[in-house]
Copies of this chain bind each other. A is one copy, B any other.
Amino acid sequence: MLIHVVNPNTTVSMTDKIAAAARAVASTGVEILATQPETGPVSIEGYYDEAFAIPGMLMRILEAEKAGAQAHVIACFDDTGLDAARSAVSSPVIGIGEAAYHVASLIAGKFSVVTTVAQAIPVMEHNLVRYGLASRCARVRAGGFEVLALEEEGSDARAKISAEIEAAKVEERAEAIVLGCAGMADLAADLSVEHGLPVIDGVAAAVALAEGLIKLGVKTSKRGGYTPPLRKPYAGAFAAYAYPG
């Protein structure tokens, strides 16, 4: 079983961390192919970064699909380019934000999300509305530090996340926590013990769901919004992306 995990930003150290988180949960015999695009931002914080991450990420997904990947995981909490990716390939595609929200909904009445910077909140709120799970999310919180701080030694990022979890328990009676950034993958287990409630990491959640979908043999529906792209010319730099099918 081959699962492709794509980090949509170009920071290799984050890809490595994501790959480790993915492999830690993957079943025996499941191979994790971890990639990142060649072009685009070093981290994704807000709508603008997202727009430039998608083309390179889609290339990785198309390549991995040809290489036999049976499912794709988009390892950014924005679920960057999820709809475009689903249109492009027939294997299931799962965003780590989406995966974490679904898993949290299966083990708690309502959950809160803790992410990095405040400008990332609206993206997640919009996704939650679209997925239908906004009613299950009590609040999206930001710790107030940049994504790359999670990679820096001596950063107080973990302490800030922990403080937000505490606040979520008291203020909105959150029953579970979703860690809203792929870079937080290694903190989930500890924070769960510390706070006495389930803390969900999206990378692990997505890999678990991807294995499940592969086992079920279900693929992305090709009716409606995920109809394969119509045959048409693409001008300029993206010419090679036309007709992915």
Chain A residues close to B by CB (< 8 Å): 10, 25, 27, 37-43, 45-52, 54-56, 58, 81, 83-84, 86-88, 92, 94, 98, 102-103, 105-110, 117-119, 121-123, 126, 129-136, 146, 169, 173-176, 189, 196-198, 200, 204-205, 208-209, 211-213, 215-227, 229-230, 232-238, 241-242, 244
- Cβ of A213: which chain B residues have Cβ within 8 Å of it? 103, 106-107, 208
Q: How close is A26's CB to chain B, nearest CB, in angstroms?
A: 8
A47 touches B212 (CB 8 A): no
- CA gap between A212 and B26 in the complex, in Å: 10
- Cβ of A86: which chain B residues have Cβ within 8 Å of it? 47
A175 touches B223 (CB 8 A): yes
- Cβ of A189: which chain B residues have Cβ within 8 Å of it? 217
- Cβ of A132: which chain B residues have Cβ within 8 Å of it? 105, 132-136
For this chain, the copies found in one complex come to 6
Choose among B136, B175, B216, B225 the residue that contacts A175 (Cβ–Cβ < 8 A).
B225
- CA gap between A129 and B52 in the complex, in Å: 24
- Cβ of A244: which chain B residues have Cβ within 8 Å of it? 48
Most chain B CB within 10 A, of A98, A135, A175, A221, is at: A221
Task: Add 17 more A-B contacts to A40-B238, A107-B218 (CB < 8 A).
Answer: A10-B236, A25-B216, A37-B235, A37-B236, A40-B236, A47-B84, A47-B86, A48-B84, A51-B58, A52-B234, A54-B54, A103-B218, A108-B220, A110-B122, A126-B130, A129-B135, A131-B136
Provide a sorted-by-A list of 11 A–B residue pairs whose CB atoms are within 8 angstroms: A40-B238, A43-B232, A83-B123, A102-B102, A106-B209, A107-B213, A107-B218, A109-B225, A122-B225, A131-B136, A211-B211
- CA gap between A19 and B39 in the complex, in Å: 33
- CA gap between A242 and B10 in the complex, in Å: 13
B198 touches A219 (CB 8 A): yes
